[in-house]
Chains A and B, each alone.
Chain A
């Protein structure tokens, strides 16, 4: 690919430091090692205060509306959420409630989540994947789940998790391309 791939990452954690952010950054670093990327990172903890008060898209401040526009025009989405009550966080969902339902058609989405233990690993396939299936996005076959003990000082610190990240990116590569102009046009119409 001659042009850089437009990657938008959404990380659902509300605090810093954050394992979810660390996992997101590890995935993005692995991607950047393999292909040329332009990365935009959206942190729920940062945009949360202006996002939570909005119940309609026209109530969103310009900066958050731009973030949503970035999600809607990405070539690849990397989404990561901490597990709350066996699912994505409410605020994570609230952000995607604003995303146009046709804006992610065929867009590859790399799913990631973090939890206290391995017991919630199925959140990827039972909560995150159906959400992006709704969008008719191309949810990538390999998701990445990190448990608390896979991190040290809020950095990925587990060989198996590192291997999983590498595998997720490896398997994603053949499926990545620049967004079909037709998709953007359909959304704009």
Chain B
């Protein structure tokens, strides 16, 4: 079974970055990847401040991640970097937590000017956690989201297409693509050629 952990780094309930994460999760699931989602509210703040590695919440996260093949992390860009609250969660991971795993970073910001926060701020942290592959991420701005009547967001076709590509890259680099229903290379080819919609 191929599993990927999804980590939402936004403190907001109505979050654009979490929307990207959920969409990536749905795409992964459609290819037979099992996903498990964690958000900031899954971690008691005392566990974060006192670095309680062995608290039930932190252990559940680290053990789930240890057993997974990959990680998708999503963050809003605050002050040209990832959110501090997300980093507080990543700080509690063991030193080589992403060894032998593939990782994908998703981020949202107010303007296109902060795209490089993914490459220069977040990805170096994933690299420090020894991720085996960090595949090209997706950055979206406010205008890429259409608010829906129910309070949720819908992403534009362009962003959806980029998420398709990113998920294809992630699947192609998972160390154990066993349960993926489409061969990664075939998936990447299809995505590149036809921008398939699912």
Contact = CB atoms under 8 A, between A and B. Distances in A.
Interface of A: 14, 48-49, 51-53, 55-56, 84-97, 99, 101, 126-127, 130-131, 133-135
B45 A131 contact: no
B141 to A, nearest CB: 16
Contacts, number: 96
Given A91-B48, A93-B83, A93-B84, 20 more contacts: A52-B45, A52-B48, A53-B45, A55-B12, A84-B91, A85-B125, A86-B127, A87-B128, A89-B87, A89-B91, A90-B88, A90-B89, A91-B84, A91-B88, A93-B82, A94-B88, A97-B83, A127-B124, A130-B120, A134-B80
A89 B92 CA distance: 10
Interface in B84-128: 84-91, 93, 120-121, 124-125, 127-128
A55 B124 contact: no
Give the interface size class of chain B. 20 to 34
Contact of B121 (A51, A55, A127, A135): A127
Nearest to B87: A90
A101 to B, nearest CB: 7
B84 A94 contact: yes
Nearest to B95: A85
A56 B40 CA distance: 13
B129 interface: yes
Contacts of A92: 84
B69 to A, nearest CB: 21
B49 A49 contact: yes
Contacts of A56: 11
Most buried by B among A90, A127, A131, A133: A90
Question: Main SS of chain A's interface residues?
Answer: helix
Contacts of B127: 86
B46 A49 contact: yes
Given A86-B124, A87-B125, A133 B87 contact: no
Given A97-B78, A130-B121, A131-B81, A91 B49 contact: yes
Contact of A55 (B11, B90, B120): B11
A86 B45 contact: no
B51 interface: yes
Contacts of B129: 85
13 contacts: A52-B85, A55-B40, A85-B129, A89-B91, A90-B90, A91-B84, A94-B84, A97-B84, A101-B79, A126-B120, A130-B120, A133-B80, A134-B80
Nearest to B89: A90
Interface in B27-62: 40, 45-46, 48-51
A48 B49 contact: yes
B6 to A, nearest CB: 19
Nearest to B116: A130
A153 B65 CA distance: 37
Contacts of B125: 85-87
A55 B85 contact: yes
Contact of B124 (A51, A87, A95): A87
A56 B12 CA distance: 9
B66 to A, nearest CB: 17
Contacts of B83: 93-94, 97
